[in-house]
Amino acid sequence: MFLSWGGNEFQRRGAEQLNALLPVVVRRAEGTDGCMEEEDLRERDAGGDQTNMGGARLWMALNEEELYLVKWRGFPESDNTWEPKRNLKCPKLMKQFHRDLEQELRRHKRRCTPKRLDKEVASYLVQKAKLRQILQRWEAHLNQTRNHPGRIFVLNEVDFEGPPKNFTYINNYKVGQGIVLDEMAVGCECKNCLEEPINGCCPGASLHRMAYNDKGQVRIRPGQPIYECNSRCSCSLDCPNRVVQKGIQFDLCIFKTENGRGWGVRTLQHIKKNTFIMEYVGEIITTDEAERRGHVYDRQGSTYLFDLDYVEDVYTVDAAHHGNISHFVNHSCNPNLQVYNVFIDNIDERLPRIALFSTRAIRAGEELTFDYKMQIDPVDTESTKMDSSFSLAGLPSSPKKRIRVECRCGSDSCRKYLF
């Protein structure tokens, strides 16, 4: 699908298909050889008042006038119209369109805009704009669904994959059939849980120490449980022993990785060491159900099953179809996140909440990862209560029979295989 010019006029080939295309562009000024440098659109806002656009357009020049094929928001594509640049007030969309064009031309090692837009480039730009709109709608849905301060952004600059199918964003555990969460029976009577804890506050009631410092950073070893203050406690919501329950505090971006690892998550803000990032949330199911689902996921080549075996292996979290942003966090053999078991309003030690904390300072723009086969420090006396690995329910325990999954984390300490 393309546009071509004959003398001082253009011909549209495949008009019906072009009207169905959303964003594509080509340009040639009369009297040139068809190879012009792109103009800086940032200083050239167009006139007119038709700004309610869907964000996609075909673009060309006729007698030195740029024309754009516009998809109008709220109207079918059969109502697309050709508009001169002076009629359009959409500088952000214009910039985005030309960035897409320049990126695609660079990919084809072209330094300037050709006389006509060939089918391959046109198809790329159309799919790119349609995908961007789909991801923007998904991003808006995620932010309408979340109950935490941290915003969620979505970006795919790699291919045309859209949002995952059959995935529902949730903020808390989805309890499976036949599973009951026991609410916390008692709370602390502290007024200042950190400096003046009464009977050791909530951690002391379970013979454990306070997990956080005055800045909310975890200060206990991985493998030791975290007991936060709960809804029955006398302390305020600003209590320093309320961290995980406040939810994600950082702006995070779900992005498509360039090395075949699927979607990933990066932070858009600097994160200090030992800081809470997110919970691993999903559907709580029994180990028997996890075993059944595990065989299905094995055939699909992926799984999101996390065994809750802090004291005994009875329940599993399945984040395949119900989960939060942790669903998209990738594995690394040298991760920057660590898992902790957390108890807040639930006294059943078989059902801890799974929290991810930073193991070091993390730069803005850096990908977040954790080790799917993490090892707990054997010196830690609590390590016997926590499984020594991020278990995949349904996979045989024998190394000889275990499915081999190649690791692509790229770290110097990479083990080459995830499982």
Gyration radius of the chain's alpha carbons? 27
C-alpha to C-alpha distance for 363 and 343, rounded to whole angstroms: 29
Q: 2 pLDDT exceeds 60?
A: no
- Alpha carbon of residue 339 to chain centroid: 19
Q: 314 pLDDT exceeds 80?
A: yes
Where residue 404 falls among pLDDT bands split at 50, 70, 90?
low
Domains of the chain: 16-25+66-145 (2.40.50.40), 150-376 (2.170.270.10)
Q: 56 pLDDT exceeds 70?
A: no
Q: What is the pLDDT of residue 339?
A: 94
> Is 188 marked within a binding site?
yes
User: What's the rounded mean pLDDT across residues 20-27?
Assistant: 36
Identify the weakest region by mean pLDDT among 52-61, 114-123, 224-233, 248-257. Answer: 52-61
Where residue 410 falls among pLDDT bands split at 50, 70, 90?
confident
pTM: 0.78
Each residue's pLDDT tens digit, 126-173? 888 889 999 999 999 999 999 999 999 999 999 999 999 999 999 999
Q: 416 pLDDT exceeds 60?
A: yes
> Is 409 marked within a binding site?
yes
Report the percent of the chain where pLDDT is more than 70: 75
Comparing 27 with 5, which gets the higher pLDDT? 27
Question: Closest by alpha carbon to 263, among 305, 302, 306, 317?
Answer: 302
> Is 253 marked within a binding site?
no
Where residue 319 falls among pLDDT bands split at 50, 70, 90?
very high
Each residue's pLDDT tens digit, 278-301? 999 999 999 999 999 988 888 777
> Is 333 marked within a binding site?
yes
Q: 383 pLDDT exceeds 90?
A: no
> Is 35 marked within a binding site?
no
The secondary structure of the chain, three-state, reads CCEEEECCEEEECCHHHHHHCCCCCCCCCCCCCCCECCCCHHHCCCCCCECCEEEEEEEEEECCEEEEEEEECCCCHHHCEEEEHHHECCHHHHHHHHHHHHHHHHHCCCCCECCCCCHHHHHHHHHHHHHHHHHHHHHHHHHHHCCCCCCEEEECCCCCCCCCCCCEECCCCEECCCCCCCECCCCCCCCECCCECCCCHHHHHCCCCCCECCCCCECCCCCCCEECCCCCCCCCCCCCCCCHHHCCCCCEEEEECCCCCCEEEEECCCECCCCEEEEECCEEEEHHHHHHHHHHHHHHCCCCEEEECCCCCCEEEECCCEECHHHHCEECCCCCEEEEEEECCECCCCCCEEEEEECCCECCCCEEEECCCCCCCCCCCCHHHCCCCCCCCCCCCCCCCCCCCECCCCCCCCCCECC
Q: 375 pLDDT exceeds 60?
A: no
> Is 90 marked within a binding site?
no
> Is 233 marked within a binding site?
yes
